[in-house]
Amino acid sequence: MFLVDSRQLSPVGSHGGPSQEFHVLGATGNVYTVRISRNPHCSCPDFGKGHLCKHILFVMLRVLRQSPENPVIWQRALLTHEVEEVLGPLAATGNGAGTVDQSVLATERVRQRYAAITSGAAAQGEPGSTGGVVGVQRPVEGECPICYENLVASGRGPAEAITFCTSCGNNMHKDCFDRWATSKRSSGQTVTCVYCRAPWKTTAGAAAGESPGGSEYINLSQYSDAHRNAPSLEDLYGSNAYFILANNGEIGRRQAVRLHAAARGWA
């Protein structure tokens, strides 16, 4: 795991205590948000199920350099003075960039790409960058790259739902892309654009009702040398990887059972 970014939410002396946000690059290349405050929190699935997650431990032990014997690293709630002690070294810089051990930082390329994605600007020279504005949809015309049937815009005859890549702007049928995304996730791979292969992220259109089929997390595995040749879940766990994906909410449990049975030759 590596630290991608850190932002001060509230300084020492604030009502309710200080709060700092840490963006952590996980083992699969997903970026999870850890918040250290009076009520520590992480955006990962494990924390959502009520467990103390490894991302909070990473921040406490590696980034904030707390002792493994310090009970604050596992407590679900902290007193204000405990948060101030933990975050004290970061208070002077706000983002903590000058006080963090360089060995825990993600590479500059990863951090720059994350900054570009979260700021809504395409990184020049990176895969999937058009050199223009991220999120601009191209005209709906031509064929879907998956089914090779015509793309029909709304108002021009029978139309199917369309989704598009926020990196390159190309369009495809929503249903086709959903199947593509399910196939990628079921094999433990990152969901990417069919055209430019950039990690898929939710479009503004998706927020209005489209479902692009991507993950809720930003995935930077293709920009990280440490993740590029990392084994997939299927490499590590065989057909049991499907149950891990189902447990993470990436595929349905019935689908996991079917895929597991097919992989074992039981179907």
Q: What is the pLDDT of residues 143-174, one digit of tens each?
A: 888 888 888 875 444 556 788 888 777 888 88
Q: What is the pLDDT of residues 84-116, one digit of tens each?
A: 999 877 765 544 444 677 888 888 888 888 888
Could you give all domains of the chain from N- to C-terminal order, each with its CATH number?
2-106 (no CATH), 124-230 (3.30.40)
The SS3 call for residue 261 is: helix
Half-sphere exposure of 140 (CA within 13 A, CB side): 18
Extended beta strands in the chain, E state: 2-10, 19-25, 31-36, 41-42, 162-164, 171-173
- Give the mean pLDDT of the chain: 76
Work out the pLDDT band at 199, boundaries 50, 70, 90: confident
